[in-house]
Amino acid sequence: MIYPHISGNKYRKLKYNLEAAKTDGFDTILTFGGAFSNHIAATAYAGKLHGLKTIGVIRGEEISQKWETNPTLKLAFEHGMLFKFISRDAYRDKNSEDFINLLKSEFGNFYLLPEGGSNALAVKGCEEILTSEDIQFDFICSSIGTGGTIAGIINASHPNQRVLGFPALKGGFLTEDIRNFTSKENWQLQTDYHFGGYAKVSAELVHFINDFKERTQIPLDPIYTGKLLYGILDLVKKDHFKPKTKILAIHTGGLQSISGMNTKLKKKKLPQITL
Ligand SMILES: *Cc1c(COP(=O)(O)O)cnc(C)c1O
Protein backbone atom coordinates (compact mmCIF):
# COMPACT_ATOMS: atom_id res chain seq x y z
CA MET A 1 0.00 0.00 0.00
CA ILE A 2 3.06 2.29 0.20
CA TYR A 3 3.55 2.58 -3.52
CA PRO A 4 2.12 0.59 -6.41
CA HIS A 5 5.41 -0.45 -8.06
CA ILE A 6 7.97 -0.16 -5.28
CA SER A 7 6.08 -2.42 -3.01
CA GLY A 8 6.36 -2.78 0.71
CA ASN A 9 9.71 -3.34 2.32
CA LYS A 10 11.64 -2.70 -0.90
CA TYR A 11 10.57 0.95 -0.75
CA ARG A 12 11.94 1.15 2.80
CA LYS A 13 15.17 -0.56 1.80
CA LEU A 14 15.75 1.77 -1.13
CA LYS A 15 14.80 5.03 0.57
CA TYR A 16 18.12 5.96 2.23
CA ASN A 17 20.21 4.21 -0.41
CA LEU A 18 18.78 6.40 -3.16
CA GLU A 19 19.44 9.47 -1.05
CA ALA A 20 23.04 8.35 -0.48
CA ALA A 21 23.59 7.56 -4.16
CA LYS A 22 22.46 11.03 -5.16
CA THR A 23 24.35 12.80 -2.36
CA ASP A 24 27.53 10.98 -3.32
CA GLY A 25 27.13 12.02 -6.94
CA PHE A 26 26.36 8.64 -8.56
CA ASP A 27 24.15 8.52 -11.65
CA THR A 28 23.86 4.71 -11.82
CA ILE A 29 22.74 1.99 -9.39
CA LEU A 30 23.81 -1.61 -9.93
CA THR A 31 22.24 -4.52 -8.10
CA PHE A 32 21.64 -8.28 -8.21
CA GLY A 33 18.62 -10.55 -8.25
CA GLY A 34 16.74 -13.54 -9.59
CA ALA A 35 14.21 -13.46 -12.40
CA PHE A 36 11.22 -12.86 -10.10
CA SER A 37 12.97 -10.49 -7.71
CA ASN A 38 10.82 -7.81 -6.10
CA HIS A 39 14.05 -5.94 -5.42
CA ILE A 40 14.92 -5.82 -9.14
CA ALA A 41 11.43 -4.55 -9.99
CA ALA A 42 11.51 -1.95 -7.21
CA THR A 43 15.03 -0.73 -8.02
CA ALA A 44 14.16 -0.21 -11.69
CA TYR A 45 11.07 1.78 -10.84
CA ALA A 46 12.70 3.83 -8.08
CA GLY A 47 15.68 4.58 -10.32
CA LYS A 48 13.42 5.95 -13.00
CA LEU A 49 11.54 8.03 -10.45
CA HIS A 50 14.78 9.52 -9.08
CA GLY A 51 16.57 10.04 -12.40
CA LEU A 52 19.16 7.32 -11.77
CA LYS A 53 20.22 4.72 -14.31
CA THR A 54 19.79 1.12 -13.13
CA ILE A 55 21.64 -2.09 -14.00
CA GLY A 56 20.35 -5.50 -12.90
CA VAL A 57 22.77 -8.41 -12.75
CA ILE A 58 20.41 -11.37 -13.12
CA ARG A 59 20.99 -14.97 -11.97
CA GLY A 60 20.70 -17.48 -14.83
CA GLU A 61 22.28 -17.10 -18.28
CA GLU A 62 19.41 -19.08 -19.85
CA ILE A 63 17.00 -16.25 -19.01
CA SER A 64 18.72 -13.94 -21.52
CA GLN A 65 16.86 -15.86 -24.28
CA LYS A 66 13.40 -15.42 -22.81
CA TRP A 67 13.42 -12.52 -20.40
CA GLU A 68 10.65 -10.74 -22.30
CA THR A 69 8.22 -13.44 -21.22
CA ASN A 70 9.04 -12.73 -17.58
CA PRO A 71 6.69 -10.06 -16.17
CA THR A 72 9.17 -8.89 -13.48
CA LEU A 73 12.02 -8.34 -15.93
CA LYS A 74 9.73 -6.90 -18.58
CA LEU A 75 8.47 -4.28 -16.15
CA ALA A 76 12.02 -3.52 -14.98
CA PHE A 77 13.12 -3.09 -18.60
CA GLU A 78 10.21 -0.76 -19.30
CA HIS A 79 11.43 1.35 -16.40
CA GLY A 80 14.84 1.63 -17.98
CA MET A 81 16.84 -1.13 -16.32
CA LEU A 82 19.77 -2.58 -18.25
CA PHE A 83 20.38 -6.32 -17.70
CA LYS A 84 23.45 -8.49 -17.45
CA PHE A 85 22.65 -12.21 -17.26
CA ILE A 86 25.21 -14.40 -15.56
CA SER A 87 25.49 -18.11 -14.81
CA ARG A 88 24.48 -19.50 -11.42
CA ASP A 89 28.15 -20.21 -10.72
CA ALA A 90 29.22 -16.66 -11.52
CA TYR A 91 26.30 -15.41 -9.44
CA ARG A 92 27.53 -17.25 -6.38
CA ASP A 93 30.77 -15.32 -6.73
CA LYS A 94 29.11 -11.97 -7.42
CA ASN A 95 30.47 -10.16 -4.36
CA SER A 96 34.11 -10.87 -5.12
CA GLU A 97 36.37 -7.90 -5.79
CA ASP A 98 37.36 -9.31 -9.19
CA PHE A 99 33.80 -9.55 -10.36
CA ILE A 100 32.86 -6.08 -9.13
CA ASN A 101 35.91 -4.65 -10.93
CA LEU A 102 34.84 -6.47 -14.08
CA LEU A 103 31.41 -4.87 -13.78
CA LYS A 104 33.03 -1.46 -13.30
CA SER A 105 35.12 -1.85 -16.43
CA GLU A 106 31.96 -2.78 -18.33
CA PHE A 107 29.54 -0.20 -16.92
CA GLY A 108 31.66 2.56 -15.39
CA ASN A 109 31.26 3.67 -11.80
CA PHE A 110 28.05 2.78 -9.94
CA TYR A 111 26.39 2.78 -6.52
CA LEU A 112 26.39 -0.87 -5.52
CA LEU A 113 23.33 -2.31 -3.83
CA PRO A 114 23.74 -5.88 -2.57
CA GLU A 115 21.33 -8.70 -3.49
CA GLY A 116 17.93 -8.06 -1.98
CA GLY A 117 19.11 -4.53 -1.19
CA SER A 118 20.20 -5.38 2.35
CA ASN A 119 22.79 -3.04 3.81
CA ALA A 120 22.95 -0.69 6.80
CA LEU A 121 20.93 2.03 5.05
CA ALA A 122 18.27 -0.52 4.08
CA VAL A 123 18.01 -1.62 7.71
CA LYS A 124 17.66 2.01 8.75
CA GLY A 125 14.75 2.37 6.31
CA CYS A 126 13.12 -0.78 7.70
CA GLU A 127 13.31 0.60 11.22
CA GLU A 128 10.52 2.92 10.06
CA ILE A 129 8.14 -0.02 9.48
CA LEU A 130 7.07 0.01 13.12
CA THR A 131 5.20 2.97 14.57
CA SER A 132 4.55 3.94 18.19
CA GLU A 133 1.08 2.35 17.96
CA ASP A 134 2.65 -1.05 17.39
CA ILE A 135 3.85 -1.21 20.99
CA GLN A 136 0.51 -2.87 21.85
CA PHE A 137 1.58 -6.11 20.12
CA ASP A 138 3.29 -9.00 21.91
CA PHE A 139 4.68 -10.60 18.75
CA ILE A 140 5.78 -9.02 15.48
CA CYS A 141 6.10 -11.43 12.57
CA SER A 142 7.81 -10.91 9.24
CA SER A 143 8.97 -12.97 6.30
CA ILE A 144 12.72 -13.17 5.68
CA GLY A 145 14.75 -13.27 2.49
CA THR A 146 18.17 -11.76 3.14
CA GLY A 147 17.37 -10.57 6.68
CA GLY A 148 17.61 -6.79 6.29
CA THR A 149 13.93 -6.16 6.84
CA ILE A 150 13.64 -8.15 10.03
CA ALA A 151 16.85 -6.58 11.37
CA GLY A 152 15.20 -3.17 11.03
CA ILE A 153 12.04 -4.42 12.72
CA ILE A 154 14.08 -5.92 15.56
CA ASN A 155 15.99 -2.65 16.02
CA ALA A 156 12.72 -0.74 16.25
CA SER A 157 10.96 -3.24 18.52
CA HIS A 158 10.44 -2.80 22.24
CA PRO A 159 12.50 -5.18 24.44
CA ASN A 160 9.25 -6.69 25.78
CA GLN A 161 8.12 -7.62 22.30
CA ARG A 162 9.24 -10.74 20.47
CA VAL A 163 10.03 -10.66 16.79
CA LEU A 164 9.42 -13.88 14.83
CA GLY A 165 11.05 -14.33 11.44
CA PHE A 166 9.81 -16.80 8.85
CA PRO A 167 12.57 -17.55 6.29
CA ALA A 168 11.27 -17.92 2.73
CA LEU A 169 14.27 -20.08 1.89
CA LYS A 170 15.79 -23.29 3.16
CA GLY A 171 18.95 -23.29 5.25
CA GLY A 172 21.46 -20.50 4.72
CA PHE A 173 23.28 -18.24 7.12
CA LEU A 174 20.38 -16.04 8.11
CA THR A 175 21.09 -15.89 11.83
CA GLU A 176 24.54 -14.46 11.21
CA ASP A 177 23.25 -12.10 8.54
CA ILE A 178 20.66 -10.72 10.94
CA ARG A 179 23.21 -10.39 13.77
CA ASN A 180 25.32 -8.23 11.46
CA PHE A 181 22.61 -5.59 11.61
CA THR A 182 21.21 -5.88 15.12
CA SER A 183 22.61 -6.52 18.57
CA LYS A 184 19.21 -7.21 20.17
CA GLU A 185 18.20 -10.70 21.23
CA ASN A 186 14.39 -10.56 21.34
CA TRP A 187 13.92 -12.51 18.13
CA GLN A 188 13.67 -16.05 16.81
CA LEU A 189 13.38 -17.85 13.48
CA GLN A 190 10.56 -20.22 12.51
CA THR A 191 12.27 -22.33 9.90
CA ASP A 192 9.50 -24.82 9.04
CA TYR A 193 7.55 -22.72 6.57
CA HIS A 194 9.76 -22.39 3.47
CA PHE A 195 7.71 -24.97 1.48
CA GLY A 196 10.83 -26.57 0.03
CA GLY A 197 12.87 -23.45 -0.61
CA TYR A 198 12.95 -20.04 -2.21
CA ALA A 199 10.04 -19.51 -4.66
CA LYS A 200 8.95 -23.15 -4.20
CA VAL A 201 5.19 -23.40 -4.06
CA SER A 202 2.76 -26.27 -3.44
CA ALA A 203 -0.93 -26.68 -4.26
CA GLU A 204 -1.60 -26.41 -0.54
CA LEU A 205 0.08 -22.99 -0.35
CA VAL A 206 -1.82 -21.74 -3.43
CA HIS A 207 -5.06 -22.94 -1.87
CA PHE A 208 -4.20 -21.15 1.37
CA ILE A 209 -3.39 -17.87 -0.44
CA ASN A 210 -6.65 -17.98 -2.42
CA ASP A 211 -8.70 -18.88 0.64
CA PHE A 212 -7.06 -16.14 2.73
CA LYS A 213 -7.86 -13.56 0.07
CA GLU A 214 -11.44 -14.71 -0.21
CA ARG A 215 -11.97 -14.47 3.54
CA THR A 216 -10.03 -11.26 4.26
CA GLN A 217 -9.76 -9.43 0.90
CA ILE A 218 -6.01 -9.29 1.59
CA PRO A 219 -3.85 -10.60 -1.28
CA LEU A 220 -0.67 -12.47 -0.36
CA ASP A 221 2.33 -13.21 -2.55
CA PRO A 222 3.51 -16.82 -3.06
CA ILE A 223 7.19 -16.24 -2.16
CA TYR A 224 7.06 -14.36 1.14
CA THR A 225 3.81 -13.20 2.73
CA GLY A 226 1.83 -16.33 1.79
CA LYS A 227 4.32 -18.52 3.64
CA LEU A 228 4.41 -16.06 6.55
CA LEU A 229 0.65 -16.05 7.12
CA TYR A 230 0.46 -19.82 6.62
CA GLY A 231 3.13 -20.19 9.29
CA ILE A 232 1.54 -17.81 11.78
CA LEU A 233 -1.88 -19.47 11.50
CA ASP A 234 -0.29 -22.92 11.76
CA LEU A 235 1.49 -21.89 14.98
CA VAL A 236 -1.80 -20.51 16.31
CA LYS A 237 -3.46 -23.85 15.53
CA LYS A 238 -0.66 -25.65 17.36
CA ASP A 239 -1.13 -23.43 20.47
CA HIS A 240 2.30 -21.89 20.11
CA PHE A 241 0.89 -18.60 21.42
CA LYS A 242 -0.87 -18.06 24.75
CA PRO A 243 -4.55 -17.04 24.56
CA LYS A 244 -5.06 -13.29 24.03
CA THR A 245 -1.57 -12.85 22.56
CA LYS A 246 -1.56 -9.91 20.17
CA ILE A 247 0.27 -10.70 16.95
CA LEU A 248 1.29 -8.18 14.31
CA ALA A 249 2.03 -9.64 10.86
CA ILE A 250 3.96 -7.33 8.54
CA HIS A 251 2.71 -7.48 4.95
CA THR A 252 5.94 -6.78 3.09
CA GLY A 253 4.31 -6.53 -0.36
CA GLY A 254 5.67 -8.55 -3.27
CA LEU A 255 2.43 -8.89 -5.21
CA GLN A 256 4.17 -8.20 -8.53
CA SER A 257 5.51 -11.78 -8.45
CA ILE A 258 2.05 -13.39 -8.71
CA SER A 259 1.66 -13.28 -12.49
CA GLY A 260 5.14 -14.73 -13.09
CA MET A 261 4.43 -17.45 -10.55
CA ASN A 262 1.12 -18.26 -12.23
CA THR A 263 2.95 -18.96 -15.50
CA LYS A 264 5.20 -21.39 -13.61
CA LEU A 265 2.23 -22.99 -11.86
CA LYS A 266 0.42 -23.50 -15.15
CA LYS A 267 3.40 -25.37 -16.61
CA LYS A 268 3.44 -27.61 -13.55
CA LYS A 269 -0.32 -28.13 -13.80
CA LEU A 270 -0.80 -26.62 -10.36
CA PRO A 271 -3.75 -24.34 -9.45
CA GLN A 272 -3.50 -20.61 -10.18
CA ILE A 273 -3.31 -17.82 -7.63
CA THR A 274 -6.39 -15.66 -8.06
CA LEU A 275 -5.59 -12.05 -8.92
C1 LIG B 1 12.45 -8.99 -0.25
C2 LIG B 1 11.18 -9.33 0.44
C3 LIG B 1 11.18 -9.87 1.74
C4 LIG B 1 12.45 -10.19 2.48
O5 LIG B 1 13.18 -9.06 2.83
P6 LIG B 1 14.68 -9.22 3.32
O7 LIG B 1 15.04 -7.87 3.80
O8 LIG B 1 15.48 -9.64 2.13
O9 LIG B 1 14.72 -10.26 4.38
C10 LIG B 1 9.98 -10.15 2.34
N11 LIG B 1 8.82 -9.92 1.68
C12 LIG B 1 8.77 -9.43 0.45
C13 LIG B 1 7.46 -9.24 -0.19
C14 LIG B 1 9.95 -9.11 -0.21
O15 LIG B 1 9.89 -8.62 -1.46
Per residue of the chain (275 residues), what is the pLDDT tens digit? 887 778 889 999 999 999 999 999 999 999 999 988 999 999 999 999 999 999 999 999 999 999 999 999 999 999 999 999 999 999 999 999 999 999 999 999 999 999 989 999 999 999 999 999 999 999 999 999 999 999 999 999 999 999 999 999 997 778 999 999 999 999 999 999 999 999 999 999 999 999 999 999 999 999 999 999 999 999 999 999 999 999 999 999 999 999 999 999 999 999 999 98
Our answer on whether the CB atom of 9 is closer than 6 Å to any ligand 1 atom is yes
Ligand 1 pocket test: pick from 9, 144, 187 the residue with the most ligand atoms within 8 Å of its Cβ. 9
Question: What SS3 class is residue 162?
Answer: strand
- From the CA of 36, how far away is ligand 1's center (Å)? 12
Ligand 1 pocket test: pick from 38, 118, 128 the residue with the most ligand atoms within 8 Å of its Cβ. 38
Query: d(Cα 149, Cα 122) in Å, to the nearest integer?
Result: 8
Question: What SS3 class is residue 219?
Answer: coil
Q: What's the pLDDT score for residue 194?
A: 97
Angle between helices 225-237 and 203-216 (to 10 degrees): 80
- From the CA of 164, how far away is ligand 1's center (Å)? 14
Q: From the CB of residue 223, how many other CB atoms can be counted at a distance below 10 Å?
A: 25
Query: d(Cα 246, Cα 162) in Å, to the nearest integer?
Result: 11
Ligand 1 atom nearest to 148, measured from its CA:
7
Q: What's the pLDDT score for residue 4?
A: 72
Query: d(Cα 264, Cα 25) in Å, to the nearest integer?
Result: 41
- From the CA of 149, how far away is ligand 1's center (Å)? 7
Parallel, antiparallel, or unpaired for β 111-112 and 139-144? unpaired
Ligand 1 atom nearest to 37, measured from its CA:
15
Our answer on whether the CB atom of 145 is closer than 6 Å to any ligand 1 atom is yes
Query: d(Cα 67, Cα 70) in Å, to the nearest integer?
Result: 5
Nearest Cα residue to atom 4 of ligand 1 = 145
Nearest Cα residue to atom 5 of ligand 1 = 145
- From the CA of 175, how far away is ligand 1's center (Å)? 15
Ligand 1 atom nearest to 42, measured from its CA:
15
Sheet holding 247-249, edge to edge: 187-189, 162-167, 139-144, 247-249
Ligand 1 atom nearest to 146, measured from its CA:
8
Q: What is the pTM of this model?
A: 0.95
Cα 221 to chain centroid, rounded:
11
Q: What's the pLDDT score for residue 102?
A: 97
DSSP category for residue 35: T
Residue 232: CA count within 13 A, CB half-sphere: 21
Q: What's the pLDDT score for residue 96?
A: 97
Query: Which residues lie below 8 Å from residue 21, measured CB to CB, with a gap of 6+?
Result: 29, 52, 111
Q: From the CB of residue 272, how many other CB atoms can be counted at a distance below 10 Å?
A: 14
Q: What's the pLDDT score for residue 6?
A: 80
Q: What's the pLDDT score for residue 174?
A: 86
Query: d(Cα 192, Cα 142) in Å, to the nearest integer?
Result: 14
Sheet holding 28-33, edge to edge: 82-86, 53-59, 28-33, 111-112
Contact 59, 33 (CB under 8 A): yes
- From the CA of 105, how far away is ligand 1's center (Å)? 30
- From the CA of 167, how far away is ligand 1's center (Å)? 9
Query: d(Cα 165, Cα 150) in Å, to the nearest integer?
Result: 7
- From the CA of 137, how far away is ligand 1's center (Å)? 21
Residue of 102, 146, 109, 149 lying closest to 130 (CA atoms): 149
